[in-house]
Amino acid sequence: MPALILASTSPYRRELLNRLGLPFDVARPETDESPLPGEPPEALAVRLSAAKAQAVASRHPEAWVIGSDQVAEFDGRPLGKPGGREPAIAQLASMSGRSVRFRTGLCLARAGHAPLQALDTTTVRFRTLTPREIERYVDAERPFDCAGSFKSEGLGIALFDAIESQDPTALIGLPLIATARLLREAGYTLP
Protein backbone atom coordinates (compact mmCIF):
# COMPACT_ATOMS: atom_id res chain seq x y z
CA MET A 1 0.00 0.00 0.00
CA PRO A 2 1.19 3.55 -0.64
CA ALA A 3 2.30 5.64 2.30
CA LEU A 4 -0.42 7.53 4.16
CA ILE A 5 0.11 11.10 5.35
CA LEU A 6 -2.08 13.26 7.55
CA ALA A 7 -1.89 16.86 6.31
CA SER A 8 -2.26 18.34 9.77
CA THR A 9 -0.23 19.02 12.87
CA SER A 10 -3.35 18.86 15.05
CA PRO A 11 -2.81 16.46 17.97
CA TYR A 12 -6.59 15.85 17.98
CA ARG A 13 -6.64 14.65 14.36
CA ARG A 14 -3.51 12.56 14.89
CA GLU A 15 -5.07 10.83 17.89
CA LEU A 16 -8.26 10.12 15.95
CA LEU A 17 -6.45 8.71 12.89
CA ASN A 18 -4.46 6.40 15.19
CA ARG A 19 -7.76 4.64 15.98
CA LEU A 20 -7.87 3.16 12.46
CA GLY A 21 -4.65 1.23 13.10
CA LEU A 22 -2.90 2.24 9.87
CA PRO A 23 0.67 3.56 9.88
CA PHE A 24 0.86 7.19 8.79
CA ASP A 25 3.14 10.20 8.79
CA VAL A 26 2.25 13.80 9.52
CA ALA A 27 3.07 16.84 7.38
CA ARG A 28 2.26 20.52 7.80
CA PRO A 29 0.11 21.60 4.84
CA GLU A 30 1.22 25.28 4.68
CA THR A 31 -2.01 26.61 3.15
CA ASP A 32 -3.80 29.93 3.36
CA GLU A 33 -6.95 29.33 5.40
CA SER A 34 -8.60 32.68 4.65
CA PRO A 35 -12.21 32.48 3.51
CA LEU A 36 -13.08 33.82 0.09
CA PRO A 37 -15.50 36.77 0.03
CA GLY A 38 -19.03 35.46 0.58
CA GLU A 39 -17.87 31.84 0.82
CA PRO A 40 -20.38 29.70 2.74
CA PRO A 41 -18.95 27.76 5.71
CA GLU A 42 -19.55 24.33 4.12
CA ALA A 43 -17.78 25.39 0.90
CA LEU A 44 -14.89 26.78 2.96
CA ALA A 45 -14.48 23.48 4.85
CA VAL A 46 -14.48 21.45 1.63
CA ARG A 47 -12.09 23.82 -0.17
CA LEU A 48 -9.61 23.99 2.72
CA SER A 49 -9.57 20.22 3.30
CA ALA A 50 -8.76 19.73 -0.39
CA ALA A 51 -6.14 22.50 -0.39
CA LYS A 52 -4.38 20.94 2.60
CA ALA A 53 -4.41 17.42 1.12
CA GLN A 54 -3.27 18.60 -2.31
CA ALA A 55 -0.50 20.82 -0.91
CA VAL A 56 1.07 17.84 0.87
CA ALA A 57 0.34 15.42 -2.00
CA SER A 58 2.29 17.68 -4.38
CA ARG A 59 5.36 17.22 -2.13
CA HIS A 60 4.75 13.46 -1.67
CA PRO A 61 3.34 12.18 -4.99
CA GLU A 62 3.68 8.52 -3.95
CA ALA A 63 1.42 8.88 -0.92
CA TRP A 64 -2.27 9.22 -0.20
CA VAL A 65 -2.82 12.35 1.87
CA ILE A 66 -5.68 13.09 4.26
CA GLY A 67 -6.71 16.72 4.58
CA SER A 68 -9.41 17.88 6.96
CA ASP A 69 -10.73 21.26 7.95
CA GLN A 70 -13.50 22.29 10.28
CA VAL A 71 -15.52 25.48 10.13
CA ALA A 72 -17.91 26.47 12.89
CA GLU A 73 -21.03 28.15 11.50
CA PHE A 74 -23.00 30.49 13.73
CA ASP A 75 -25.85 32.58 12.32
CA GLY A 76 -24.75 31.56 8.80
CA ARG A 77 -21.20 32.89 9.22
CA PRO A 78 -17.88 31.18 9.91
CA LEU A 79 -16.78 31.37 13.52
CA GLY A 80 -13.01 31.43 13.96
CA LYS A 81 -10.66 30.29 16.69
CA PRO A 82 -10.74 32.80 19.54
CA GLY A 83 -6.97 33.05 20.11
CA GLY A 84 -7.32 34.31 23.69
CA ARG A 85 -9.37 34.42 26.87
CA GLU A 86 -11.64 37.43 26.22
CA PRO A 87 -12.61 36.41 22.66
CA ALA A 88 -13.31 32.85 23.91
CA ILE A 89 -15.59 34.19 26.64
CA ALA A 90 -17.38 36.41 24.10
CA GLN A 91 -17.87 33.50 21.67
CA LEU A 92 -19.33 31.22 24.31
CA ALA A 93 -21.59 33.98 25.66
CA SER A 94 -22.97 34.61 22.17
CA MET A 95 -23.70 30.89 21.69
CA SER A 96 -25.34 30.35 25.09
CA GLY A 97 -28.75 28.71 24.59
CA ARG A 98 -28.23 28.50 20.81
CA SER A 99 -27.04 26.04 18.17
CA VAL A 100 -23.82 26.01 16.18
CA ARG A 101 -23.13 23.86 13.11
CA PHE A 102 -19.69 22.39 12.58
CA ARG A 103 -18.83 21.66 8.96
CA THR A 104 -15.94 19.20 8.69
CA GLY A 105 -14.48 18.79 5.22
CA LEU A 106 -12.41 15.74 4.36
CA CYS A 107 -10.23 15.04 1.33
CA LEU A 108 -8.07 12.06 0.41
CA ALA A 109 -5.68 13.08 -2.36
CA ARG A 110 -2.84 11.53 -4.34
CA ALA A 111 -0.96 12.91 -7.32
CA GLY A 112 -2.48 11.57 -10.54
CA HIS A 113 -5.78 10.53 -8.91
CA ALA A 114 -9.12 12.28 -8.54
CA PRO A 115 -9.52 13.48 -4.96
CA LEU A 116 -12.01 11.64 -2.75
CA GLN A 117 -14.07 14.02 -0.62
CA ALA A 118 -16.71 14.11 2.11
CA LEU A 119 -18.45 16.69 4.28
CA ASP A 120 -19.87 16.09 7.75
CA THR A 121 -22.25 18.42 9.57
CA THR A 122 -22.59 18.26 13.34
CA THR A 123 -24.98 20.52 15.25
CA VAL A 124 -24.18 21.42 18.85
CA ARG A 125 -26.93 22.84 21.05
CA PHE A 126 -25.46 24.86 23.90
CA ARG A 127 -27.31 24.99 27.19
CA THR A 128 -27.92 28.41 28.71
CA LEU A 129 -24.60 29.37 30.31
CA THR A 130 -23.98 31.86 33.07
CA PRO A 131 -21.06 34.29 32.78
CA ARG A 132 -19.35 32.56 35.73
CA GLU A 133 -19.73 29.09 34.11
CA ILE A 134 -18.18 30.43 30.92
CA GLU A 135 -15.24 32.00 32.74
CA ARG A 136 -14.61 28.85 34.81
CA TYR A 137 -14.68 26.72 31.69
CA VAL A 138 -12.36 29.00 29.68
CA ASP A 139 -9.90 29.27 32.58
CA ALA A 140 -9.91 25.48 33.14
CA GLU A 141 -9.54 24.31 29.54
CA ARG A 142 -8.07 27.32 27.66
CA PRO A 143 -9.76 26.42 24.34
CA PHE A 144 -8.09 29.25 22.43
CA ASP A 145 -7.11 27.11 19.42
CA CYS A 146 -10.61 25.65 18.91
CA ALA A 147 -13.33 27.11 16.70
CA GLY A 148 -16.28 27.71 18.98
CA SER A 149 -14.06 28.06 22.07
CA PHE A 150 -14.58 24.56 23.45
CA LYS A 151 -13.10 21.06 23.43
CA SER A 152 -15.86 18.47 23.17
CA GLU A 153 -13.36 15.70 23.97
CA GLY A 154 -12.75 17.38 27.31
CA LEU A 155 -14.72 19.47 29.78
CA GLY A 156 -16.47 21.31 26.93
CA ILE A 157 -19.01 18.49 26.69
CA ALA A 158 -20.60 19.92 29.88
CA LEU A 159 -21.57 23.07 27.95
CA PHE A 160 -24.10 21.28 25.73
CA ASP A 161 -27.72 20.23 25.82
CA ALA A 162 -27.24 17.97 22.78
CA ILE A 163 -25.02 16.99 19.87
CA GLU A 164 -26.65 15.93 16.62
CA SER A 165 -24.27 14.02 14.37
CA GLN A 166 -23.86 10.94 12.26
CA ASP A 167 -20.19 10.68 13.32
CA PRO A 168 -19.17 11.71 16.85
CA THR A 169 -15.51 11.99 15.85
CA ALA A 170 -16.26 14.75 13.34
CA LEU A 171 -16.70 17.33 16.07
CA ILE A 172 -13.15 16.64 17.27
CA GLY A 173 -11.85 17.36 13.76
CA LEU A 174 -11.64 14.17 11.69
CA PRO A 175 -14.80 12.23 10.76
CA LEU A 176 -13.53 8.66 11.06
CA ILE A 177 -16.58 7.02 9.46
CA ALA A 178 -16.02 9.03 6.26
CA THR A 179 -12.23 8.67 6.57
CA ALA A 180 -12.51 4.87 6.73
CA ARG A 181 -14.88 4.87 3.73
CA LEU A 182 -12.51 7.00 1.62
CA LEU A 183 -9.50 4.90 2.62
CA ARG A 184 -11.34 1.72 1.56
CA GLU A 185 -12.16 3.42 -1.77
CA ALA A 186 -8.44 4.13 -2.18
CA GLY A 187 -7.61 0.44 -1.59
CA TYR A 188 -6.67 0.35 2.09
CA THR A 189 -7.77 -2.68 4.10
CA LEU A 190 -9.74 -1.83 7.21
CA PRO A 191 -11.98 -3.96 9.39
Closest CA to 67 of 28, 114, 12, 112: 28
Q: Are 115 and 60 in contact (CB under 8 A)?
A: no
Q: Residue-wise over 162-187: b if at least 16 C-beta within 10 A, else e?
A: eeebebebbbbbbbbebbbbbbeebe
- Where in the sequence numbering do the catalytic residues fall? 69
Q: Please, where are the H alpha helices in 122-162? A: 131-141
- Strand ranges in 110-189 using DSSP code E only, listed in sequence order: 116-126, 160-164
Q: How far is Cα 178 from Cα 120, in angstroms, rounded to an integer?
A: 8
